[in-house]
Amino acid sequence: MAPPGAPSSSPSSSSSSSSSASTATAGSGSGSATAPTQSRILKFVPWQSSVTADFWHGLANLKLDVLRLDRRPLQIQGFFAPCSHPRISKPLQLTYESLSLELGTESPASDRNRCPAPGTLYNTNTSDEFNSIDRDALMNEETAKVWDDICSGRAEEDSNLLNRFFVICYADLKEWRFKYWFSFPALQFTQAVKHTMFQPASDYFTAEESLRVVSACTAWRTSPLTTCLSFFLLHLSCDGVTVRPLSDWEKCQGSFQILLGFYDPSHLPTNPGWPVRNLLVLAAVRWGLKNVDILCWRELQGRTDLRHCFVTSATFEEFGGIVLPENTNAVPKAAGWEPSARSVDLSSLMNPDMLAKSAADLNLKLMKWRSLPSLNLLLLSKTKCLLLGAGTLGCEVALRLLAWGIRDITFVDYGKVGYSNPLRQPLYQIKDCGRSKVEAAQEALKTKCVDVRAQGHQISIPMAGHSVSGNQVEETFDNFTKLQTLIEEHDVIFLLTDTRESRWLPTILCAAAEQSKIVINAALGFDSFVVMRHGEGPFNSTQDGRLGCYFCTDVVAPTDSTVNRTLDQQCTVSRPALAPIAGALAVEMAVVVMHHPLGPAAPADQAVSVTTSIDQPMGILPHQIRGFLAHYAQLVVSGIAFDGCTACSPKIVSEFKARGFAFILEALNSPNYLEDVAGLTDLLHATNSMSLDWDGEGDSDLGVPDMA
Ligand SMILES: [Zn+2]
């Protein structure tokens, strides 16, 4: 069948594989093949790369969450398939699944249209680093891998190793711009590979052979076991045509004809694609071939059609004079860089919500890189915060919580937005005046952060000393029940209302809650503030020296503080910067408590000099911070729970647990009742005067605000 004079492959005597190769009988088979013509240089069509947007998104997440500044090379996978269009070459593609090895996700299923190619991604941290990377050194390193795969025989077992590629990359995550440069290392012969023909496979094979070739190749392409093996042997014998893996080379010797086949990404009718280059080197080095016919396997819209496949006869020199196995360390030169680096700007492609979501956490994720590796963003994103009060403090606290990555924020407030509010309460605008505060506040948060889960409840918090008449009992009970449910449902409770007595019921409910709550209290005076955390409830506490609550310094029950007060005394009259300062400190304190292994049970740290270094990554965790704007000073103080406290003492909490709302109702209507239960009445009778010290200094000396 082979016409006399047709090119045939012949073994190289210098190869270690020559004994087996010498038994091979190879050559072109078509009766229509023309007589040999002058050989020409065989040029290969460079492989093209294509990267999907979701790959960059996956890489961005990987860098932000896992790699950070880590520069280790990443193991990635590219995907490719034979050319399937007469005018369009197939690129090697990177998709989100390309990162599955690094993301720890399930490996992507490979199939006939997604043959895997092993790749390495070299990620750089700055644009300068990208520009100055030693590309020659990288090329040598990657070429050595290909060479080793060939010399060791691994590439015959897993022929996709011949398709190794690598990418250098710089991801500018602030601007969503990515710079990258692909390389497909192909080992080079010292002299150019030549060929004498490049013709459609339908002309090369006889009609009978064509039928058998189509049948064998279709079987190879449809079997899940072989469809992803992109290099193969086309084995023609008297018994028929089979397609075999490269590792069957020895077994195929003695047959009538062997062609080397590969999935060809090129569409050009005159040139084969890039991947065949390493196959030719393998054939020269391992099998000692000097010429061979090659089947460039291409398809037409996924179907087998030999008119679109090509056969070429490649002739090449003995491989670089290298004799195996002695010189396996001498890695040949390689080519394969794409002509230039490329860049992609995804900022406009990204869904604005997605972009906003990614960008929202950018600063926090960057904090984890160097400044605060122990920052637990998952914990923050899952923590539910309840803000009692949506006024000056509530607005400030909500915004700072968002900035820390908290996404579950619930407001409780009964008020409406007033015309005096927008300037000092940053969640409101003039157009909101007259609306319910909780409704306007949650809407405002959603304009800041797309994935915030904000809620609002318009509830009037029952207040100690504000008596409840008979027709108000039902409504008060409703409000009590809603508040209790909300407190049980949240992890962190912020007390940010503008009167002292409105903090009393939430303090009891937190102290009596099933699970210990983190309770943060902030209160403003004119130019001073207190930010504190409450200790655990008396029956939840397992620590000695349970920390006190806001009411632990009182020797009287809270009363209606608005009676007999002028307007300036009833309203929050504070220097404008006080709420932002106190609100921000309240959030900082809450975040530190969340990260403390003991949570709300964490003991109070004492103040240390600013020149003393602090071991804790987020600094000390005080019980209380008292601020004095007139002095530009802050004090860190602490105090343990008071046994006669009207809000958190064991007597009060156990009475509440026993009587529930009936206890609350009685306390609202009769402040003396609380003092009786707490034992304050007896205490007052026993002593004429009493002062409780906070670390040795009385409240009055500190000018602590008693109402906001
Ligand atoms: Zn207390």
Q: What are the residue boundaries of the structural domains of the chain, listed by start?
A: 18-45+190-326, 49-188+340-344, 375-687
What separation in Å is there between the alpha carbon of 649 and the centre of ligand 1?
Answer: 6
What separation in Å is there between the alpha carbon of 675 and the centre of ligand 1?
Answer: 13
CA–CA dist 506, 14 (Å, integer): 90
* Range name among 317-331, 349-363, 573-587, 606-620 with the lowest pLDDT average: 317-331
DSSP letters spanning 46-88: PP-EEE-HHHHHHHHHHIIIIITT--PPEEEEEEE----BTTB
CA angle 600, 605, 606 (to 5 degrees): 150
What separation in Å is there between the alpha carbon of 591 and the centre of ligand 1?
Answer: 22
**Residues identified as active-site:** 571
pLDDT in tens, 268-298: 999 999 999 999 999 998 998 988 999 999 9
Q: Do the first three CATH levels of 18-45+190-326 and 49-188+340-344 match, i.e. the same topology?
A: yes
* Range name among 11-15, 202-206, 237-241, 442-446 with the lowest pLDDT average: 11-15
Q: Is 375-687 a domain of CATH 3.30.2320.50?
A: no
For tokens 């943060």, the residue is 520
pLDDT in tens, 386-424: 999 999 999 999 999 999 999 999 999 999 999 999 999
- Supply the pLDDT for residue 357: 77
How much is the mean pLDDT over the chain?
86
CA–CA dist 598, 536 (Å, integer): 11
Task: Classify residue 625 as exposed, middle or buried by CB count within 10 Å of its CB (0-12, 13-18, 19+).
Answer: buried
Task: State the pLDDT confidence band at 561, using cuts at 50, 70 and 90.
Answer: low
Residue 327 has pLDDT above 70, yes or no: no
- Supply the pLDDT for residue 572: 62
CA angle 399, 404, 410 (to 5 degrees): 50
For tokens 């040795």, the residue is 696
Give bridge partners of residue 77 from the DSSP assignment.
118
Give bridge partners of residue 326 from the DSSP assignment.
none
Give the ipTM of the model, two decimals please: 0.99
What mean pLDDT do residues 428-446 have? Answer: 96
Return the structure tokens found at 425. Answer: 């309460």
* Range name among 106-110, 151-155, 338-342, 699-703 with the lowest pLDDT average: 699-703
What separation in Å is there between the alpha carbon of 174 and the centre of ligand 1?
Answer: 47
CA angle 598, 396, 578 (to 5 degrees): 100
**Helix then strand then coil, % of the chain, to nearest 5:** 35, 20, 45
What separation in Å is there between the alpha carbon of 571 and the centre of ligand 1?
Answer: 25
Indicate the CATH number for domain 49-188+340-344.
3.40.140.70
Return the structure tokens found at 695. Answer: 């670390």
- Supply the pLDDT for residue 12: 33
* Range name among 119-128, 226-235, 571-580, 589-598 with the lowest pLDDT average: 571-580
CA–CA dist 367, 591 (Å, integer): 14
Task: State the pLDDT confidence band at 569, using cuts at 50, 70 and 90.
Answer: low
Q: What CATH number matches the domain at 18-45+190-326, 3.40.462.40, 3.40.140.100, 1.10.3720.10, 3.40.50.11030?
A: 3.40.140.100
What separation in Å is there between the alpha carbon of 536 and the centre of ligand 1?
Answer: 10
What separation in Å is there between the alpha carbon of 534 and the centre of ligand 1?
Answer: 8
Residue 256 has pLDDT above 70, yes or no: yes
- Supply the pLDDT for residue 1: 36
What separation in Å is there between the alpha carbon of 647 and the centre of ligand 1?
Answer: 5
pLDDT in tens, 179-189: 999 999 999 88
Residue 146 is given by DSSP the state: H
- Count CB atoms within 10 A of the CB of residue 455: 16
What mean pLDDT do residues 216-224 have? Answer: 92
Cα dihedral across residues 310, 316, 320, 325: positive or negative: positive
User: What is the percent of the chain where pLDDT is above 90?
Assistant: 64
